[in-house]
Amino acid sequence: MSNTRIRIDFMRGRRVAAMLSLIAILIAIGSLALRGLEFGLDFTSGTSVRLNFSQTAPIDAVNSELEQAGYEDAVVVNFGSDRDIRVLLPLDPDAEAANEAEQAALTGEAIAALLRERVDSGVILLGSDYVSAKVGEELAEQGGLGMLVALGIIMLYIAVRFQFKFSVGAVVALAHDLLFTLGIFSLTGMEFNLNTLAALLAIIGYSLNDTIVVSDRIRENFRTLRKTEPVATVNISLNQTLGRTMITSFTTLLVLFSILLMGGESTRGFAIALIVGVIVGTYSSIYVASNVIIFMKVTREDLLIPVKEAAEADGAMT
Amino acid sequence: MLNHYPAWKNLLILFAMVLGVLYSVPNLYPDDEALQVTHESQELVQADLDNITTALEAAQLASIGQELNDSGILLRFDGVDEQLRAKTAIEDALTDDYIVALNLAPTTPGWMQAIGAGKMNLGLDLQGGVHFLMEVDMEAAVLGRMEDNLSNVRSILRELRIRTRGLTMVDSSHIEVRFASADDRSRARSELIDNFPELQFQNREAGGLSHLDLRMTEDTMLQIRRDTLQANRTTLLNRVDALGVAEPTVQQQGANRIVVELPGVQDPAQAIRILQRIATLEFHLEAGPGAPRSSFETYDYVAPEGVFTVNVDNDVILQGDRISNVRPSLDQNGLPQVQISLDAQGGNQINRVTRDNVGRMMDILLIETRSRTSLVIDENGEEIEEVEFYEDRRLISHARINSALGRQFVITGLTQREAMDLSLLISSGSLAAPMTIVEQSVIGPTMGRENLEQGIRGVQIAAVLVVLFMLLYYRVFGLAANAALIMNIVLIFAVLSSVLPATLTLPGIVGIVLTVGMAVDANVLIFTRIKEELRNGLPPQQAISAGYDRAFTTILDANLTTFLVAVVLFTIGTGPVKGFSVTLMIGIITSMFTAIVGTRALVNLIYGRRRDLRSLSIGIAPVKPATGKH
C-alpha cells in the first residue's frame, strides 16, 4: 500500500484535543445548567401571534398599544425582517384549557384588528399558535426520550456490526456533538424550538455517518496492516478518509448555508443548529470517536471476531 | 477487465427513471383557485348551478370551469381575487344552508390522474390553514359508561324486586351495591353477572351490610378508550366534512389525541365552533305522573303544534355512544322516519327498559357544551371578560314507545324536515366523550406561500452549488454523480406524490435539502476510493470496480445507521419531526439506489467497454502508478 503514509499526524494532538473537548463540554453543561435554553413556544406553551407590517414595525408603539388594550404580559419581538413581528402571550394559569384555545384563535384576530386601527392599516395576520402547557411538557419529554432511544439503538447496531469499543466511541462522539450544539444555543440565547430539536436529531444522523466511515476504515486497516501500532493505524485511517470527510462536510455546509440565507425565518434555527453540528461532527469523528477507541485500548484481536464479510480475518485466525 | 451491467439492470434503472419522472411531473401543473359549494343536507342540482351563475353574472365575475358532481358544485376561477369576490357573491345569493368553501382544483390531465399520479400534499406550513390538536377526555368516557351501568343495575334489581340499602358509584371504575343480607346479595349477583360481562364482581362485608363491588376491568377500560377515540374521530370527520374544506386531515395521535388539519381555512374561530359542537346524547323515559320532584327535570319541547313542557326522568336508559348509525328514511307507507341502530349492549339495554314501558314516552336529550362571554367585575374593581362554559341540555325528541325496542328501531310521526333535522342532531350528539383543544396553530396564506417559495429556492440553490462543486472536483465522474443527484430528487418527489400518502412540510423540504448534501456522500466515498486504487497502481477498469466494491460496506453501514435514527424519529416524533424523518428515510433509500447503481450504470456506459482505458476523468491526476510495489 503506497498511501499508508501519514500526511497529518492527527493522533499526536489527541491529548490536547481531548482537553479542549472536555473544556468545551464542561462549558456547555455549565451554561445549560445555569442559563438553560431559550425554549420556544413549542415547549413553553402559550399563544404566539405573527404579524406583518407594511413598513418597519414600530415595536415601541405596538408594545404600548398592547399594554393599553390589556395584554400586559405580551412580549413583542422582530422575526425575520424588520417588518415582521411576533407577539408572545404567556399562558394564563387560571384559565381553563378549553377556553384558552378558543381565545387564542380570537386573540390573533383581535390584536391584528387593534394594530390595524391604531398603528398601521396594512397589518397582515400571518398566523397564530397556541400550545397548552401539557403538550409543551410532553414534547420536551418526547424529544429527550427520542434522543436516548436513538443513541441506544445506534450503540447496539455498532456493537453488532463493529465492536463494543467502537460503539462507545460513536456514542461518546454523538453525545459530544449534541451537548456542544445545545451549549451554543444556551450561550447565545437562540430560541430552541421543535425545528431545532429536529435538527439535533439530524445531527445524530450526520455525525454518525462520519464516525461510521472512519470506523469502517480503522476496522479494515486493523485487519490488513498487521504490523502497525494501533495509534498509527488510526492515524493512517484518518488520513485516508480525510478527503472524503472534508468534501462531504463541505457539500453539506454549502447546502446548509443556502438554507440559512434563502430559507427564511422558519428554518433559520434548524440551519444554524445543523451548521454547528456538522462542523463539530466532523471534528468529533476525527478526534472524539478515534480517541475513545484508542483510550479503550483497541487491539487487532478485537476486530478478528468473525464478522460475516471478514474473509481476510478468517485467514488470519488459522 | 471490463465494467458493464447486464441489460436487465440497465432496464431496471431506466424503468425507475421513467416512473420517477411520470409520478413527479404532476407537481408542475399549477392548481386552479376554486370554490366548492355544498349543502348541509341536500344534493345540489342544476337549478343551484343556474342560481350561482346568475349571481356571478350580476357581480360581473366569470368562472373558468364549472362542474356539478356528487360532492357538490366545483367552480374554477382565474386568480385568488376573483375567487374571493365570487365567494362573497355566491354566499350573498344563497341561503345559509349552503356551504361555500375555498378550494384548489387540480389541472393535471385525466390520464395522469387515472394512473394515480397526483400532486404532493402540502403541509399547512406551506399552504396556510388551521391545525388543531384535540384531546379526548377518556375519563369522561369511562365515567359515562359506568353511569350507564349504574342505572342498569338499579333497574334490573328493581325488576327482580331485590331490595338494596343503596347504590354508590365510588369512582369511575367502581360501583358499590349494599344489601341487608348475604342472601339478597347472592340472588342479585347471580342475576347481574350474566348482564354485565365486562364487570368483575366481588363480595365484601362492611358496617353490618353485605356489599357487592362491581369493578370495570383494565381490558374493558382500554377497549372503551379505543372505541371512544374512534367514535370521536368519526364524528369529527363528519363535522369537518360539513366545513367543506378540501383535503382535511383527521388523524389519531397517541392514545388520546386527534389531529385536525384544515388547509386553507383562515377563520379558526369558526372552525372551532363547528368542531367544538361537543355534544352528547341521552335517552330517558318521561317521568310518571306521581313521580317525586327530585327524580325528574323539566324541559321545553318544541313541537309543530307548539311548545310544551315535559318531565324527563333522571335515569339514563342509554348513552349516545351506543348508537352505531342514524339516518332519515321512509317507512313502507312512504312516511318519513328516523332509523337508529345500536350496538349489542345498547340493544339489550333499551329492550329491557322498553318492554315494560310500552305506551310511555321516551325522550332524547342533546347535551352541548357551550361557552359564553360575560363582563364581570374582578377583585380590583375592573371590568374583565370572562368566558364560562355551561351545559346546554335540549329535548330533541319526545316519542311514544309503541313496542319493545331492540337494536334497530325507528322514530316515526315526523315531517321530512323534522326527520332530517333529528337525524342530524342525533349524529352530531354521538360524540362519545368531550374534547378540548390542546394545541392550535393558524398559518396565514402569505406565510405559507413564503415558506414554500423560500423552501424551493433553498433546494434549488443548494442543488446548483453541489452540482457545480461535484462537476469541478470530479469532472466526468462528477457528471455521473450529478445525474444521480437529480434523479434522486425526482424519485423523492415521485414517492412523496404518489406512493406514500405523505405530506410535504417545511421540515420535510429541509430533509430533502439535507439528503441532497448527504446523497453525494456515497459518491464521494466511491470516488475517493477509486482515486486511491488508482494511486495504488490498479488499472482504471479494476480501480472502478474495486472502488465501488470496497466503498459499498461503508455506505451501507453509514446509511443504515442514519436510517435507524430516522425510524426512531418517525416512531416517537410528531409534526415537524415526523415530516423531516419521512423525507430523510425516503431520501436514504433513493439515494442509495441512484448513487450506487445509477452512477455505476453511467460510469459503465462511459468507460466500461474501453479495453485500452488509460486514465479516468475523476478530478486529480492520479499519482504515478507505484508499479505493484506494496
Q: What SS3 class is residue B349?
A: helix
Q: Which of A266, A268, A307, A308 is the best substitution to test chain B (most B C-beta atoms within 10 A)?
A: A266
Are A310 and A225 found together in one domain? yes
pLDDT of A135 > 80? The answer is no
For the stretch A239-250, pLDDT in tens is 888 888 888 889
For the stretch B51-108, pLDDT in tens is 888 888 888 888 888 888 777 888 888 877 787 788 778 878 887 667 777 677 778 8
Q: How far is CA B363 from the centre of its chain?
A: 34
* Per-residue pLDDT at B625: 43
Are A227 and A194 found together in one domain? yes
**Which of A81, A115, A131 is the last residue in one of the domains?**
A131
Are A215 and A236 found together in one domain? yes
Are A114 and A209 found together in one domain? no
Q: What SS3 class is residue B573?
A: coil
Averaged over A139-162, what is the pLDDT? 83
CA separation for the pair B279, A241 (Å, rounded):
65
CA separation for the pair B446, A34 (Å, rounded):
39
pLDDT of A201 > 80? The answer is no
Cβ atoms of A31 and A186 within 8 Å: the answer is yes
Q: What SS3 class is residue B112?
A: helix
| Residue contacts between A and B (CB atoms, under 8 Å) | 246
| Least confident span in A270-274, B251-255, B571-575, B626-630 | B626-630
Look at A41 and B360; give whichever has higher pLDDT. Answer: B360
Q: How confident is the model at residue B622 (pLDDT cuts 50, 70, 90)?
A: very low
Q: How confident is the model at residue A105 (pLDDT cuts 50, 70, 90)?
A: low
Q: How confident is the model at residue B509 (pLDDT cuts 50, 70, 90)?
A: confident
pLDDT of B371 > 50? The answer is no
* Per-residue pLDDT at A130: 80
Q: How confident is the model at residue A317 (pLDDT cuts 50, 70, 90)?
A: very low
Q: How confident is the model at residue B480 (pLDDT cuts 50, 70, 90)?
A: very high
Which residues are registered as beta bridge partners of A52? A84, A124
Are A179 and A66 found together in one domain? no
**What Cα–Cα distance (Å) separates residue A92 from each residue in A72, A103, A139, B36, B82?**
12, 11, 20, 39, 41
Averaged over A105-124, what is the pLDDT? 80
**In chain B, residues 459-498 whose CB comes closer than 8 Å to chain A:** 461-462, 465-466, 469-470, 473
Per-residue HEC secondary structure of chain A comes to CCCCCCCCCHHHHHHHHHHHHHHHHHHHHHHHHHCCCEECHHHHCEEEEEEECCCCCCHHHHHHHHHHCCCCCCEEEEECEEEEEEEEECCCCCCCHHHHHHHHHHHHHHHHHHHHHHCCCCCEEEEEEEECHHHHHHHHHHHHHHHHHHHHHHHHHHHHHCCHHHHHHHHHHHHHHHHHHHHHHHHHCCEECHHHHHHHHHHHHHHHHHHHHHHHHHHHHHHHCCCCCHHHHHHHHHHHHHHHHHHHHHHHHHHHHHHHHHCCHHHHHHHHHHHHHHHHHHHHHHCHHHHHHHHCCCCHHHHHCCCCCCHHHHHHHC
Percent share of chain A, pLDDT over 70: 88
* Per-residue pLDDT at B368: 66
CA separation for the pair B322, B303 (Å, rounded):
26
| Least confident span in A91-95, A200-204, B192-196, B505-509 | A91-95
Q: Residue type at B492? A: I
Range of the domain at A267: 10-39+136-317
Tell me if A2 is assigned to some domain: no
pLDDT of A108 > 80? The answer is no
What are the structural domains, with CATH classification, of chain B?
7-25+444-608 (1.20.1640.10), 32-105 (3.30.70.260), 139-221 (3.30.1360), 276-440 (3.30.1360.200)
Residue A173, domain CATH: 1.20.1640.10
* Per-residue pLDDT at A177: 93
Mean pLDDT in chain A? 80
pLDDT of A93 > 70? The answer is no
| Least confident span in A11-15, A289-293, B20-24, B502-506 | B502-506
**Which of A116, A131, A146 is the last residue in one of the domains?**
A131
Tell me if A195 is assigned to some domain: yes
Look at B587 and B276; give whichever has higher pLDDT. Answer: B587
Are A83 and A204 found together in one domain? no
A267 touches chain B (CB under 8 A): yes
Q: How confident is the model at residue B527 (pLDDT cuts 50, 70, 90)?
A: very high
Are A168 and A239 found together in one domain? yes
The length of chain B, given as a count of residues: 630
**Which of A131, A158, A190 is the last residue in one of the domains?**
A131
Other CB atoms within a 10 A radius of the CB of residue B548 amount to: 22
Averaged over B305-329, what is the pLDDT? 81
**Nearest partner of A207 among A174, A240, A165, judged by Cα:** A174
Q: How confident is the model at residue B246 (pLDDT cuts 50, 70, 90)?
A: low
**What Cα–Cα distance (Å) separates residue A219 from each residue in A233, A234, A239, B514, B554?**
9, 9, 14, 28, 11
For the stretch B560-578, pLDDT in tens is 888 888 888 788 776 667 7
Check residue B612 and report its DSSP letter.
T
Which residue of chain A is at minimal alpha-carbon distance from B460? A258
Percentages (nearest 5) of helix, strand, coil residues in chain B: 50, 25, 25
Tell me the chain B residues in contact with residue A253 when contact means C-beta distances shorter than 8 Å: 517
Q: How confident is the model at residue B243 (pLDDT cuts 50, 70, 90)?
A: low
For the stretch B414-448, pLDDT in tens is 888 788 777 767 766 556 677 777 888 888 777 77
Tell me if A1 is assigned to some domain: no
Tell me if A4 is assigned to some domain: no
Averaged over A202-219, what is the pLDDT? 85
Q: How confident is the model at residue A3 (pLDDT cuts 50, 70, 90)?
A: low
Bridge pairing between strands B435-443 and B129-136: antiparallel
Which residue of chain B is at minimal alpha-carbon distance from A213? B554
**Nearest partner of A296 among A231, A207, A228, judged by Cα:** A231
Tell me if A293 is assigned to some domain: yes
Mean pLDDT in chain B? 81
Q: CB distance A3–B536 less than 8 Å?
A: yes
* Per-residue pLDDT at A309: 46
Cβ atoms of B98 and B38 within 8 Å: the answer is yes
CA distance A261 to chain B (A): 8
* Per-residue pLDDT at B488: 92
pLDDT of A70 > 60? The answer is yes
* Per-residue pLDDT at A180: 93
**Nearest partner of A289 among B551, B561, B251, B294, judged by Cα:** B561
| Least confident span in A41-45, A200-204, B146-150, B334-338 | A41-45
Averaged over A22-42, what is the pLDDT? 89
* Per-residue pLDDT at A90: 74
Q: CB distance B438–A135 less than 8 Å?
A: yes
Are A16 and A82 found together in one domain? no
**Tally of domains in chain A:** 2
Percent share of chain B, pLDDT over 70: 87
The length of chain A, given as a count of residues: 318
The residues, any chain, with a CB within 8 Å of residue B7's CB and separated by 6 or more, are none
pLDDT of A27 > 90? The answer is yes
B106-136 burial: b if 16+ Cβ within 10 Å, else e: eebeeebeeeebbbbbbbbbbbbbbbbbbbb
A226 touches chain B (CB under 8 A): no
For the stretch B193-218, pLDDT in tens is 887 888 889 998 888 888 999 998 88
The label of the residue with cell 433546494 reads: B459
Cell of A49: 401571534
Are A143 and A187 found together in one domain? yes
* Per-residue pLDDT at B383: 54
Q: How confident is the model at residue A295 (pLDDT cuts 50, 70, 90)?
A: confident
Nearest Cβ partner of A127 from B133, B272, B442?
Answer: B442
Are A118 and A27 found together in one domain? no
Which residues are registered as beta bridge partners of B104? B33
Other CB atoms within a 10 A radius of the CB of residue B42 amount to: 11
CA separation for the pair B185, B177 (Å, rounded):
9
Averaged over B2-18, what is the pLDDT? 88
* Per-residue pLDDT at B268: 66
Nearest Cβ partner of B444 from A125, A202, A252?
Answer: A125
For the stretch B164-184, pLDDT in tens is 888 888 888 889 999 988 888
| Least confident span in A210-214, B158-162, B186-190, B276-280 | B276-280
Cell of B321: 355512544
Q: What ipTM was reported for this prediction?
A: 0.80
Are A277 and A291 found together in one domain? yes
Residue A102, domain CATH: 3.30.70.3400
* Per-residue pLDDT at B440: 80
Q: What is the pTM of this model?
A: 0.69
* Per-residue pLDDT at B199: 87
Other CB atoms within a 10 A radius of the CB of residue B373 amount to: 12
pLDDT of B385 > 50? The answer is no
Q: CB distance B446–A244 less than 8 Å?
A: no
**Nearest partner of A210 among B569, B518, B597, judged by Cα:** B518
Q: How confident is the model at residue B487 (pLDDT cuts 50, 70, 90)?
A: very high
* Per-residue pLDDT at A304: 64
Tell me the chain B residues in contact with residue A50 when contact means C-beta distances shorter than 8 Å: 444, 447
Cβ atoms of A61 and A71 within 8 Å: the answer is no
Cell of B562: 442514519
Are A178 and A54 found together in one domain? no
Cell of A37: 435554553
Q: How confident is the model at residue A152 (pLDDT cuts 50, 70, 90)?
A: confident
